[in-house]
């Protein structure tokens, strides 16, 4: 039932107690309080969140609430057997809790900007808010395209633009945290030596550096997908921005990053047996054990996912080409590998020494003017320095020099001819 109280300030306070739920709001006029109380009771009876003061509802005839659009979207995904991942489902539930009984055409720019500010005050970063607005846009677009609901994403775009200008929406900050070998050694030793921990988090951390797999992928790979002859393992439904379902990729188990992936796999099989999953553990539990180890050893700002970055960087430092590294990490867009390739600047000193030593010991080949392609650089090897200078100059410069040489030669010949035509000196008396 609803009760109404006149406050000393002259405002009316409406309180609704119904089916174990309690909500209350204050209004300037009693008529507004009565109208809100009726809508709140209807919402509680319908099992949805009661509206806030001044919040439009979707009770008007022919208007669909945003919560209905979310449910519709999830049902359509289930009908076509598309799995909605945990992160997306969590975000949609969050949006539904905020805008569930709001009419889809009442999602104004002001309302969305206020939501973004509130989320930012609660600790949500620019990348998190960008995901929220991306799913907002997805739900509205899906409703219009699939079900013909007259929705518009214009207000979402305006609100996103406003929050972007305020610095509340943007891309995630690229991490460049790379663990040192000393940190890895201490951390894995601590995780392996913890008698109260049944999860082999230390071995899984070394396996992550060896294979560049995500923690969810490590906990999902199976013995049936291991090819002992080729030393590969198939990662099923590997993460992809668009098509994760059916995105099965074979990953080579290498010994190139300081840890032998194949040896770690065999070690795991001897200890736990060849069960269905190689690492039959919850990924969240492994991450929690990793964080506890970092906290105990006072290793700051290190996450399990940073081991994937470390693996990619070590593969590049070992001399693998970008297309070869992509086979290990699973990236289809090579440009995305840039953010995972955090090469250490001090490592370039060793590379420079190797290049210098290679130039000093390499024999100088003698050849004709036949061009050769060496390491994507077009070079010409010649015997003489003059020929080398001639080959390196541009065609325009070569033509200019030949013309000057011809003019010089012609001028000298003409001068000699005139000199020869001069009369000989007449001998004088006394000579």
pLDDT in tens, 60-70: 445 588 999 99
Burial 79-93 (b: 16+ CB within 10 A, else e): eeeeeeeeebeebbe
**Cα→Cα distances 124→128, 138, 170, 368, Å:** 6, 20, 12, 66
pTM: 0.58
- Give dist(CA 227, CA 413) in Å, integer: 81
Q: Tell me, what's the pLDDT at 86?
A: 82
283 conformational bin, left if phi > 0, alpha if psi -120 to 50, beta if neither: alpha
Under-70 pLDDT residues of the chain = 46-48, 53-63, 241-246, 339-348, 350-351, 359-396, 406-431
Q: Tell me, what's the pLDDT at 377?
A: 39
**Both tokens assigned to 354:** 């190797």
Fold of 181-340: hpI Integrase; Chain A (1.10.443)
Do 238 and 227 meet the contact criterion of CB atoms below 8 Å apart? no
2-6 sheet: strands from edge to edge? 2-6, 12-18, 21-27
Q: Provide the mean pLDDT of the chain.
A: 81
Q: Can you say whether the dihedral through the CA atoms of 183, 184, 185, 189 is positive or negative?
A: positive
Q: Tell me, what's the pLDDT at 101?
A: 85
| Lookup result for tokens 């001639």 | 390
Q: Tell me, what's the pLDDT at 63?
A: 54
HSE of 284, CA atoms in CB hemisphere, 13 A: 1
Q: Which residues contact 65 (CB under 8 A, 6 or more apart)?
A: 48, 57, 58, 100, 101, 102, 103, 104
What are the structural domain ranges in the chain? 2-45, 66-165, 181-340, 364-406
Do 43 and 67 meet the contact criterion of CB atoms below 8 Å apart? no
Question: Smallest Cα–Cα separation from 329: which of 317, 319, 318, 341?
Answer: 341
Query: In the 8-state DSSP scheme, what is residue 274?
Result: S
């Amino acid at each position: 039932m609803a009760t109404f109280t006149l406050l000393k300030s002259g405002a009316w306070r409406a309180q609704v107690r119904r089916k174990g739920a309690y909500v209350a709001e204050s209004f300037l006029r009693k008529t507004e309080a009565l109208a809100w109380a009726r809508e709140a009771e209807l919402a509680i009876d319908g099992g949805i969140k009661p509206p806030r003061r001044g919040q439009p509802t979707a009770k008007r005839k022919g208007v669909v609430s945003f919560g209905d659009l979310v449910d519709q979207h999830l049902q359509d995904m289930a009908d076509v057997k598309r799995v909605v991942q945990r992160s997306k489902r969590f975000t949609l539930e969050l949006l539904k809790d905020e805008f569930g009984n709001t009419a889809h055409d009442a999602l104004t720019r002001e309302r969305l900007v206020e939501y973004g500010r509130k989320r930012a005050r609660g600790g949500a970063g620019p990348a998190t808010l960008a995901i929220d607005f991306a799913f907002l846009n997805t739900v509205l677009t899906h409703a219009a395209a699939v079900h013909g609901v007259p929705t518009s994403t214009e207000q979402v775009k305006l609100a996103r633009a406003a929050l972007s200008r305020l610095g509340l929406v943007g891309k995630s900050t690229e991490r460049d945290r790379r663990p040192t070998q000393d940190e890895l050694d201490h951390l894995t030793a601590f995780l392996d030596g913890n008698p109260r921990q049944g999860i082999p988090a230390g071995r899984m951390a070394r396996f992550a550096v060896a294979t560049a797999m995500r923690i969810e992928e490590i906990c999902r790979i199976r013995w049936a997908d291991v090819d002992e002859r080729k030393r590969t393992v198939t990662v099923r439904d590997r993460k992809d921005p668009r098509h994760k379902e059916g995105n099965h990729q074979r990953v080579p188990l290498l010994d190139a990053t300081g840890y032998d992936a194949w040896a770690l796999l065999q070690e795991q099989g001897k200890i736990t047996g060849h069960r269905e999953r190689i690492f039959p553990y919850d990924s969240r539990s492994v991450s929690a054990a990793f964080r506890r180890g970092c906290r105990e050893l006072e290793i700051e700002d290190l996450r399990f996912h940073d081991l994937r970055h470390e693996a990619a960087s070590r593969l590049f430092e070992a001399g693998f080409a970008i297309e070869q590294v992509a086979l290990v990490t699973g990236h289809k867009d090579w440009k995305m590998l840039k953010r995972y390739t955090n090469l250490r600047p001090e490592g370039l000193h060793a590379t420079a020494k190797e290049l210098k030593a290679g130039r000093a010991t390499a024999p100088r080949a003698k050849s004709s003017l036949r061009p050769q392609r060496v390491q994507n650089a077009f070079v010409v090897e010649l015997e003489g320095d003059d020929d080398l200078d001639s080959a390196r100059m541009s065609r325009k410069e070569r033509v200019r020099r030949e013309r000057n040489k011809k003019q010089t030669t012609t001028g000298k010949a003409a001068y000699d001819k005139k000199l020869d035509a001069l009369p000989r000196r007449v001998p004088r008396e006394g000579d």
